[in-house]
Structure formats: C-alpha cells, structure tokens
Amino acid sequence: MCHRLRTFIEPAVLSAQFASTIYDTGLLMTLKERYNVTANYSLGNASHSGDEEEQKDISNFYMIYNILHASTSILTAFYLAILGDKGFRKLPVCCPLLGYVISRAMLLLVILLDWPVQVMFGAAALQGLSGGYASYWAGVMAIASDQSTVEQRSLQLVSVEVAYGVAGFIGSTTSGYIYNLDIHTEHQGAILSGLSMLFFLLSLTYTLFILNIHNPTIHSQTRDPQEEHKSINDSKEEESKHECGTLVNAPSNNSESSPKLADTYIGIFPTCYNKVNILLLVMAALMYRVANGRFVDILPTFMVKKPLNWNAKQVGYGNAAGFVIFFTSFAGTWFFSKCLRDVSMGIIGLVSFASGLLVMAFVQKTYMFFIARALNLFALMTMPTIRSMLSKQVDASSYGKIFVLLELSFTLASVITSPIFTKIYQATLDWFAGFCFILSSILSFLAIIPVGVVAYRTRQQQGYEPIPSS
C-alpha cells in the first residue's frame, strides 16, 4: 500500500506570517510618505500642523481599514468554517490566502502606479470577503488538530504558535532593510510589497498542492465504528456529569438526582452552565481585547510621529519586540502552570499588559519604548487562561458554541470601539498623545475585577461538600 509523504501546516504559517509582517511595515511607510507630502503641501510646510494632520490622516485610514476588514469577514468566516467541517478542510485557509495575495498585489500597484492609498480600502474589504484572518487562523488550527493524535494535540498547536512568532520576528526585523533596498528609486517599497505577495502565494501553493491532511487518530483506530461511537458518547456523558458536579452546589443526600442534572438542557447549554461566571469572564475578555486591539491600532501611528519619528528599520524593530512577547508569554505559561492556577496567571498577564501600556503613554525616547515593551513580556498569557477558565464553566459539548460567541463579541466590539479610540487619539494629539494608552491600561486593570470574582465564586462553589448520610 502506497503512503503519501506526511506534511505539516507550519511551513504555510511561516510563509504567510513573514509576508504579513513585512506588508504591515510597507503599508505604514507608504501611508507616512503619502500623507506627509499631502499635509505639508496643504498647510504650507508648517511642520507642527503638518505632523498633526499626518497623524489624523493615518489614524483615520487604519480606523476605516480595520472596520472594513472586520465587518466583512463575519459571515464569510462562518460559512467557510461550516464547509471546512463538512470535509473541505483546506478551504477556510486557501480562500483567505488568495484574498491576501490579491490585496498585497493592490498595494504593489498603489506604489508603482501612484494610485491613491484609498484603494487599499477595497483591499481590506476583499480580505474580509475572502474570510480574513478569522477564517484563516481557525482553518489552520483545525488542520493542525487533524494532523495530531489526542495525546499530542497540545504540542502540535503550540508548535504552530511558535512558527507564527518566529516568522513574525524575522519579518519584523528584516522589513526595514527590505524596504530600503529601493530607496533611490521613485517607487520605494515596491520590492517589499512584491515579496509579501510572493510569500503569500507560496503559502497558498503549499497548502493547496503539497499539504496533505493526515489524521493519525483515525488511521490508528481498529475497533468497530459503532462500538467506538458508543464509547465516545459514554465518555462524554461521564465527563459532563463530573463537570456538572463541580460547578453546581448539590448538598443533597439523593444520589440518584445528580446524574440526571447533566442530562437536563436549557436552550443549547446544560443546567450546569454558570451564566454569572460566563458573563464575568466574557466581560474580562472583552475589556482586555478592546484595550489590546486599540493599542495595536494606534501604535503604528504613534511610532512614526514625533518625538519617536521612526524610520522603516526602527518600525521593524518595534514590531519585532511585539513578537518576542509570544515566546516570553508561552514560557511564562509553561512555568507558572506548574505552581499557579489559571486565575493567577490571568491576573499576571493583565498586570503585565496594563503596566506596559502605562509606561508607553509617557514614551519620549526609543529606549523608553523598549522598556515599556519589556513590561509586556507576559501580556499574552491573559487570553489562554481566560479561555481555560471559560471552558470549565460549561459542558464539553458546548465548547464550540461558547468560543464562537466570544470571537463574535470581539469582532463587534472592535467595530464599535475603533472609531471611538481613533477620535480620542486625534483630539488629544496636541497635549498628550499617549492618553489612549492610559485608557487601555485602565481597562486592563479593571478586567482583573471580574476574573477575581469568578475565582472567588468558583472556590465557594467547590467548597460545598455533600453531607455524608448516617
């Protein structure tokens, strides 16, 4: 019997993420060049007014760009996910990659043909309609899960995250040098945009023609399918009973009433579904994601304004510092998980993120920027631990539902808060450009409260023990 060579999704992730990070630098520097010329021309070369006008133009561009990408990707991403679950596993990855190739080609045309940068709004909408990042990353996780056994799944998913961080770090540190390769030509940034399109095309080609999805779990099973199905259902039922027993206070002596509790459903969730804890955790996750998302939106504009006024190389180093946090947060999670609970790790991540943002608000020199980033070393521990706590509040059969609702709430929150923070940033440019970072820091500190309340409630619930019968 002929066996195909086993392949992995990591090469596609490496190529796509490298392409994405160099594109981010190319787009930012193109915006800075175009809007700087426009602002100085319209304001008679008044440097201070020109810088302020440039900041407003760039921040408005990113606001519209991000809203278009987020809002257009919602329906498409769900539809592609459904098709992926029906057997077309590569589709949720290949469609977004094709959209990325076309949109990166549009940036190349903007540079070569001197098209207006507003053309990139069409690129953002195209990315969203092709599935966007939501469909792409969900598809990558699904393929990585298919390629691993149950015992090795965590290791497989972590390897994909590490590949993402490595590619982002390499792309960020080299993007400035690539951008300057054609510094003496009329179309600076064309080489970088062309390389971005090429690496996305390589990722698409690999996924479409080379990657084969091999599920070792399926191939290693030798039992009868009906027997296997019955065994899986029995194990899920036992797991559901166990989870409901820890989440619901049941100081009753009736031993026959507890198993029935796991089989009772209200709507799509079982009765052990703790609505208060779910709402508190979603609230904490939303506050963190709003704070993090708006910080990421404003940071590129902040880096190219005075007093930093960074060039392409410095922007690349600044972005690379953000990808270092992937490694340090993973190391922190691996280390702290040996001695701390989820709630403690989540609070460490929130404090790390909030303190870094507080320092970032007062950055005046390059070294201060990297000090602020150093304080963010454990910032990415927050969401994995909140998701872990969230999964412990519902039955295992409800994981997919609750996580889909969580991601949808993130997207809607982004669409709502992006213009609000952008306008606040523009209104405070004159007297304190870091004011939005302070707002994000406050949101992150406030997110500690619902996480702590959930920890207290869970400890109280687990403290109830059935009274032994006489």
Same domain, 193 and 324: no
Q: Among 185, 213, 241, give the residue marking a domain's end.
A: 213
Amino acid 122 reads: G
Quick check: is 229 in a domain?
A: no
Say which CATH number the domain at 164 has. 1.20.1250
Quick check: is 165 in a domain?
A: yes
Name the more confident of 385 and 215: 385
Say which CATH number the domain at 298 has. 1.20.1250.20
Same domain, 307 and 206: no
Same domain, 204 and 103: yes
Quick check: is 137 in a domain?
A: yes
Contact 188, 182 (CB under 8 A): yes
Quick check: is 221 in a domain?
A: no
The 10s digit of each residue's pLDDT in 41-90 is 555 555 556 677 888 889 999 999 989 998 888 878 878 887 887 778 89
Contact 271, 240 (CB under 8 A): no
Q: In a 3-state reduction of DSSP, which class is residue 88?
A: coil
Same domain, 17 and 95: yes
Strand partners, 266: 269
Same domain, 291 and 415: yes
Same domain, 208 and 278: no
In the chain, what is the straight-line distance between the N-terminal and C-terminal CA atoms, in Å? 65
Quick check: is 353 in a domain?
A: yes
Quick check: is 34 in a domain?
A: yes
Name the more confident of 150 and 190: 190
Q: Among 213, 242, 259, give the residue marking a domain's end.
A: 213
Q: Among 194, 213, 232, give the residue marking a domain's end.
A: 213
Looking at residue 469, what is its pLDDT?
44
The 10s digit of each residue's pLDDT in 338-373 is 888 888 888 999 999 999 999 999 999 999 999 999
Distance CA 450, CA 283 (A): 7
Cα angle at 166 between 164 and 169, to 5 degrees?
Answer: 105
Same domain, 164 and 292: no
**DSSP one-letter code for 266:** E
447: left (phi over 0), alpha (psi -120 to 50) or beta: alpha
**DSSP one-letter code for 265:** E
Range of 359's domain? 274-463
- pTM, whole model, 2 decimals? 0.72
Total number of domains constituting the chain? 2
Same domain, 284 and 202: no
Quick one: pLDDT band at residue 143, thresholds 50, 70, 90? confident
Q: What is the CA radius of gyration of the chain?
A: 24
Quick check: is 264 in a domain?
A: no
Quick check: is 107 in a domain?
A: yes
Q: Which two tokens stand for residue 151?
A: 């015992």
Distance CA 438, CA 422 (A): 14
Distance CA 262, CA 359 (A): 48
